[in-house]
Amino acid sequence: MELSAGKGKEMKVTRLKRGYVIRLSDSEYDLLSNEMQYEFMGSGTYVDGDWKHLPPAQQRVLTEIVNQKRDWLVITEDRRG
């Protein structure tokens, strides 16, 4: 994978051994979380529950979200105040 130097205005993503860390401004977070929620809830994948095309780990995540056993996004620490 090629990494780009960027122009300093893009969302920052750090790839870890297992997972990712995304650094967002408040506006970027609002945009991303709202888009993800509305796109997911309105998608055929959510409505039909047809997840066979997804890897098992992604199917598990979607099942947990739909069954309200997991949040889509959650703020784990707030350092602003």
DSSP type of residue 52: T
The letter for the amino acid at 12 is: K
Q: Do the domain assignments include residue 71? A: no
pLDDT in tens, 10-39: 778 888 998 888 888 888 888 887 777 766
Which segments of the chain are extended strands (E)?
A: 12-15, 20-23
What's the CA gap between 60 and 72, in Å, rounded? 13
Asked if pLDDT for residue 1 goes beyond 50, the answer is no
Look at the pTM and tell me if it is higher than 0.75.
no
Q: Do the domain assignments include residue 62? A: yes
Question: What pLDDT is recorded for position 52?
Answer: 78
pLDDT in tens, 35-65: 777 666 666 555 556 777 778 888 888 888 8
List the domain range (segments joined by +) for residue 29. 12-66
The two tokens of residue 19 are 């997972």
For the chain, the domain total comes to 1
